[in-house]
């Protein structure tokens, strides 16, 4: 009888542990996906800023050439 109770309790605890591990893994994956998306967004923002700077430099050079 005691062994059955211990076995049932152990199974319940293991089920709880498994459920928590699944939740943790899902949260970890969501965090990873979020960080990847954030990194991509930052990279795209940097690329756009660099392009804008290049356009500004080009426009400034064109203005200088127009004055010559």
∠ CA 12-8-14, nearest 5°, is 30
pLDDT digits (tens, 9 = 90+) for 3-29: 899 999 999 999 999 999 999 999 999
Q: What is the maximal distance between C-alpha atoms in the chain?
A: 101
Express each pLDDT in 28-64 by its tens digit: 999 999 999 999 999 999 999 999 999 999 999 999 8
The span from the CA of 8 to the CA of 13, in Å, is: 9
């Amino acid at each position: 009888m005691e062994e059955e109770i211990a076995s049932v309790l152990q199974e319940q605890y293991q089920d709880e542990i498994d459920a928590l591990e699944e939740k943790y893994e899902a949260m970890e994956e969501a965090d990873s996906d979020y960080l990847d998306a954030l990194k991509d967004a930052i990279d795209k923002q940097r690329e756009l800023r660099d392009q804008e700077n290049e356009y500004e430099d080009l426009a400034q050079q064109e203005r200088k050439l127009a004055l010559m």
